[in-house]
Structure 1
Amino acid sequence: MATIDRQSATLALAHALAAAERGLPVIPLSATKLPALRSPHHGEDPPIHCRGACGRPGHGVHDATTDPAAVRALFAAAPRATGYGIACGRPPHRLIGIDLDFDTARGKDSMAALQQLAERHRFTIPPTITVLTPSGGRHLWLTGPPDVAVPNSASRLAPGIDIRGFGGYLVGPGSVTAHGTYRLAPGTAHLTPAPCPRTLLHLLTPPTRLRRPRRPTDHRPASHQGAGGRGQGLIQFVRSAREGQRNTSLFWAACRAYEHGFGDDLADGLTAAAVHTGLSEQEARAAIASAARLTTGHPGHP
């Protein structure tokens, strides 16, 4: 087993270096498909939302790099890495990953759902790099324009179709996981990531929402303002967070709110809930702004 692990680690580094040479920023992954390096801020309370500014490795996708020496250093620090992740939304390719699941229990292939979506909205899915996953799904690689930040989403486009955009990553071909190996689909290895069709890009990018100024006469409790009743479960989730989980719970809830299009409207309620748990208002608003940047590519104004 140790020999196999060493072989997997060596192959993972080789594949990662090849991807970096093509301009794809990479990070080492464990067999669970998660970043292989532990956060240098693990156990700190309150949690620090560092994105690598401290200079130490262990910040997930924020560690991604195309520099060969830096890639080798990351893998040297993660000797049990068996795969690599490719950061999406980063120049020069600004990769957009279309993650198509295959439900073996129901025999449903989300590729068919994507094709139906293409027919309905009259766009063509271009030939592009395709990666086959161990579960029978596939990843389609597309590229986006420099002025558009595609957010991550799960089944928002259609059931079984997840999107990997800015702040997300794709498991690279050649990676070995606990469930099998990710491989390039036959006939696509010679291709380059194709530009995302304009219509599909529009579907992947939620419209920018303008926050409605609160009227001076609006005296409703903060937990009921703005979202028209939406997101109350997220607010309660934040309010029930225990010490040591407060910042993480707030960040997770804010990401979900922005993914569903009412993050700005729910920001005050989330802030009040976080303050109730013991966070300062400044900490709460900083976490919400980080969630806005991660999920929409634009700074939040909570």
Structure 2
Amino acid sequence: MAITARHTTTLALAHALSAAERGLPVIPLSPTKLPALRSPHRDEPRRAHCRGECGLPGHGVYDATTDPAGVRALFAAAPWATGYGIACGRPPHQLIGIDLDVTPTGGGGPASGAGPGPVQASPPDSLAALQQLALQHLFTLPETVIVLTPSGGRHIWLTGPAHVVVPNSAGRLAPGIDVRGAGGYLVGPGSVTARGAYRLAPGTERLAPAPCPRALLRLLTPPPARPHPHQDRPARGDGLVQFVRAAHAGQRNTRLFWAACRAYEHGFGEALVEALVDAAVRTGLTEQEARATIASAARLTSRP
């Protein structure tokens, strides 16, 4: 049993090193698909927002690296790892993952084609939704890397422009379609989880991630903030948004929380939410983190 576990970890490391050689930042994953290394701040009384600034491993996707020595060190610290994650939204590829929750309904299993088109089985909801989006917005997915998941789903790999931040989302694009962007990661092919192994779809083994179609990219990025009807809001609101955009690592949440508190205190917090979320995502926060921080500011300022 121990020999089998060591063999699985050795294979995971080999796959991770291969991905790192292609410029894909990686981290070790446990059989549950979660980062294998626990946070060094887990016993601290207040939740830390450190993203690796402390110099210790255990910061999830923020540990991801393409340095072979760094990859080996991460796996040496996590000998129980059975897979690896690939950080999205990072140079040089700016990887974007389209995660289709696919459950075949019969026939020969999930299709392995690169774009919306004929499939071997009846199309599940998420695949049908992607096909509908492609028809509605006039785009075609190029031939690209596709990873098949143990549950019958698939991950479609695309690349984005360096200046565009694609946030993580679950079901926002369409039911059953999750998006992995900045601050997220994809389970790499060759990983073994509690549910089985991830593998490259036949015919995509030699492909590189293809550029995301512009029409799809527009769907993946947050919409611009809507202007508030009050005339006195933009000047103050724009200053708060710029304050958040200027945040550096280690101060993103603090700046966002402060700006959101000021906005709510002056009566235009709700009108500024989307602009603050957009600004925070551009600094590297995930959409979920940004909205949670803003919600905390709203609760605090609403107390009597």
Matched, 1:27 2:27: yes
Other-structure match for 1:227: 270
How far off is 1:164 after superposition? 0.2
Distance between the aligned counterparts of 1:183 and 1:223, measured in 2?
A: 53
Aligned CA distance change for structure 1 residues 221 and 86 (closer, same or farther; 3 Å): closer
Other-structure match for 2:297: 271
Distance between the aligned counterparts of 1:276 and 1:38, measured in 2?
A: 35
Secondary structure at 1:96's aligned position in 2? strand
> TM-score by structure 2 length?
0.73
C-alpha contact 1:89 1:96 (8 A) present in aligned 2:
yes
Secondary structure at 2:99's aligned position in 1? strand
Secondary structure at 2:270's aligned position in 1? coil
Q: Deviations over 1:180-217 (max 9, x none)?
A: 0000000000100000000000000012326756599x
Other-structure match for 2:67: 67
Matched, 1:174 2:190: yes
1:169-248 equivalences in 2 (<5 Å): 169-209=185-225, 212=228, 214=233, 226-227=269-270
Secondary structure at 1:75's aligned position in 2? helix
Other-structure match for 1:164: 180
Aligned CA distance change for structure 1 residues 44 and 112 (closer, same or farther; 3 Å): same
Matched, 1:78 2:63: no
Distance between the aligned counterparts of 2:63 and 2:77, measured in 1?
A: 12
Residue 68 of structure 2 aligns with an amino acid whose one-letter code is: P
C-alpha contact 1:41 1:47 (8 A) present in aligned 2:
yes
Cα RMSD after superposing both structures: 3.0
Distance between the aligned counterparts of 1:223 and 1:255, measured in 2?
A: 24
Matched, 1:88 2:88: yes
Secondary structure at 1:15's aligned position in 2? helix
Distance between the aligned counterparts of 2:264 and 2:66, measured in 1?
A: 48
Residue 270 of structure 2 aligns with an amino acid whose one-letter code is: A
C-alpha contact 1:17 1:71 (8 A) present in aligned 2:
yes
How far off is 1:113 after superposition? 1.4
C-alpha contact 1:37 1:78 (8 A) present in aligned 2:
yes
Aligned CA distance change for structure 1 residues 83 and 144 (closer, same or farther; 3 Å): same
Other-structure match for 2:11: 11
How far off is 1:110 after superposition? 1.4
Distance between the aligned counterparts of 2:100 and 2:296, measured in 1?
A: 32
Aligned CA distance change for structure 1 residues 116 and 3 (closer, same or farther; 3 Å): same
Q: How many residues align?
A: 246
Distance between the aligned counterparts of 1:45 and 1:199, measured in 2?
A: 45
Distance between the aligned counterparts of 1:221 and 1:19, measured in 2?
A: 45
Other-structure match for 2:52: 52
Residue 135 of structure 2 aligns with an amino acid whose one-letter code is: E
Residue 53 of structure 2 aligns with an amino acid whose one-letter code is: A
Q: Deviations over 1:42-70 (max 9, x none)?
A: 12011111000010000000000000000
Other-structure match for 2:157: 141
How far off is 1:111 after superposition? 1.9
Identity rate, percent: 65
How far off is 1:227 after superposition? 2.6
